[in-house]
Structure 1
Amino acid sequence: MSAVLIQDVELRYGRHQIYQNFHFELKRGQIGAIYGPSRTGKSSVLLLASGHLLPAKGKVLVDGAKPDHKRTGLGPIHDLSPLFDTLSVEEHLLFQAQLHHVRQAKARVQELLQEYDLEIVRRSRVKDVAHLEQFRVGLATAVVHRPDLVLIDEPERGLTNDEWELAYQDLRNLAESGSTVMLTTVLRQVAERCDVVAVLPEGEVWEP
C-alpha cells in the first residue's frame, strides 16, 4: 500500500484550473518533492495530502484512507500558515503540542528541543532565531504529534548550502525512522536529493 497516493487529481481555484490528471505516489520512508516555479500549486499539493484541501476530481489517499489533518504533520507554509514568530521557540512548540492534544506535552517539547538542537534558543522569539533554527522549529511543529506523514514547504528557504545539508539530514533521518516526507521546492538541486519528484506545472514524475 502506498503511504501517499494522489491519483488523477484536478485542482481549481474558481474557474482557474491549477492542474489536472496529476498523479503522485510515495511509499513509506521515502522523501518526495513537488518541484517547480512559484504559483504552480506546489503548496496546494501539501494541503491536498493533509486533508485541508479537496480536489475537484480524482482521489487522494494517505495509508489507504482519506487524508486527515490530525494524522499528518503540516509544517508552516509561507504566506499561508507561518510560525507564531512572536512566541518563544519553547512556547510555540508547547502551543502546537497542546493543539494536537499531545500527552505529556512539556516532555515532548523537551524531547524535540534536544533532538533538533534548539535548547540554546528555547527562550528566543521565533522571529529572532537564525534560518536553520527556524527550519527546525517548523519541522518540530510538523512532528510534534508523531505523524506518519510529514509535509514541509520549501525547507531550503533562506538557508546557506551548508545549512541545507544539515536540514536535509534532518529530513532524511526522519524518513529513515519510518516517516514519509513530502516537500515543495523551487530548486532542482533540492529536488534531486529526494526519492521521487513531481514537476509542476507539467505533472511529470521522475526518480533522480
Structure 2
Amino acid sequence: MSGVLFQSVELSYGRHQIYHDLSFSLEDGQIGAIYGPSRTGKSSVLLLASGHLLPTKGDVRIDGQKPDKKRVGLGPITDLSPLFDTLTVEEHLLFQARLHHVRKAKDRVQELLREYQLEDVRKYRVKDVPHLEQFRTGLATALVHRPPLVLIDEPERGLTNDEWEIAYEDLRKLSDGGSTVLLTTVLQQVADRCDLVAALPNGEVWRP
C-alpha cells in the first residue's frame, strides 16, 4: 500500500516498554497526528517512520517499503534535534540541502524562502526569528529534498491561535498537493483537525 503503515509495532528501551501494539495506516495526501501527553514516545514514532529507529517488534512501511531517510523529510524534534540556533535561516536550509545532496542547492533554498515567506528573515539567526518563522524554517528543512512524507514534531509549539491557523494551512496545502504529513501534538484541538489520530500511550486510533 501507499502511505504509512505501522503494524503491531512494539518499542522498548531495555526493560522499559514505550508501546507494545501500535497499529495505524495513513494514506497518501493525508495528515496524521500522534497525540498524547509528554513522555509517551510520540517523537519516537517519527524516528521509526524516518528509519532512524527500528521497532523492537512489528513492522513499519513507507509506500510499502522499509523506511528510507532519503524519501522522508524529518523536521526538527524538540530537545532531540532542534534547529541550529546560531545559523541564519538561509544557512540552515543550505546546510540541509547539501546534507541531502540536493542539486542546485542554492536555487532550492531560494525557492523555499519565497514559498514560506522567509526572505525578510533569511539573514537572521534561527533563535532570533519569531515562532511562526521558526515553524516555517523547520517545515522548509523537512521539504528541502522534496520528500513524499513529511514528519513534524509539535508544530503548534509557541504559536498563537492565529499563527497556528497559518501553520495548519501550510500543512494542509502540502497534503492537498499529495504529500503525506505525520505530526505529533499534545493538543486535542490540533489532533481533531487531522485525517487520522493515533493516541499514546494506549494506541487507540480514530478518524475525526
TM-score between the two structures when normalised by the length of structure 2 = 0.99
Q: Which runs of 5+ in 2 are unaligned?
A: none
Report the counterpart of residue 170 of structure 2 in structure 1. 170
Does residue 183 of the first structure (1) align with residue 183 of the second (2)? yes
State the Cα distance separating 1:85 from its structure 2 match: 1.1
CA distance in 2, matches of 1:98, 1:113: 16
SS at match of 2:69: coil
CA distance in 1, matches of 2:133, 2:178: 23
SS at match of 2:40: coil
Report the counterpart of residue 133 of structure 1 in structure 2. 133
CA distance in 1, matches of 2:117, 2:85: 18
SS at match of 1:136: helix
Report the counterpart of residue 154 of structure 1 in structure 2. 154
Q: How does 1:102-121 map to 2 (within 5 A)?
A: 102-121=102-121
- 1:78-120: per-residue Cα shift (whole Å, max 9, x none)? 0100001100000000000000000000000000000000000
CA distance in 2, matches of 1:122, 1:60: 37
CA distance in 1, matches of 2:107, 2:116: 14
Does residue 89 of the first structure (1) align with residue 76 of the second (2)? no
CA distance in 2, matches of 1:120, 1:185: 29
State the Cα distance separating 1:2 from its structure 2 match: 3.3
CA distance in 2, matches of 1:24, 1:41: 15
- 1:4-63: per-residue Cα shift (whole Å, max 9, x none)? 000000000111000011101100000000000000000000000000000010000000
Does residue 15 of the first structure (1) align with residue 18 of the second (2)? no
Task: Give the 4+ runs in structure 1 shifted more than 6 A.
Answer: none
Report the counterpart of residue 142 of structure 2 in structure 1. 142
What's the C-alpha RMSD, in Å, of the aligned pairs?
Answer: 0.5
Give the conservation status (yes or no) of the 8 Å contact 1:8–1:22.
yes
- 1:127-173: per-residue Cα shift (whole Å, max 9, x none)? 00000000000000000000000000000000000000000000000
Identity across aligned pairs (percent)? 78
Aligned residues: 208
CA distance in 1, matches of 2:115, 2:177: 13
CA distance in 2, matches of 1:99, 1:42: 25
Report the counterpart of residue 68 of structure 2 in structure 1. 68
CA distance in 2, matches of 1:34, 1:15: 23
SS at match of 2:184: strand
CA distance in 1, matches of 2:177, 2:108: 17
Q: Which runs of 5+ in 1 are unaligned?
A: none
Give the conservation status (yes or no) of the 8 Å contact 1:2–1:25.
no
Report the counterpart of residue 45 of structure 2 in structure 1. 45
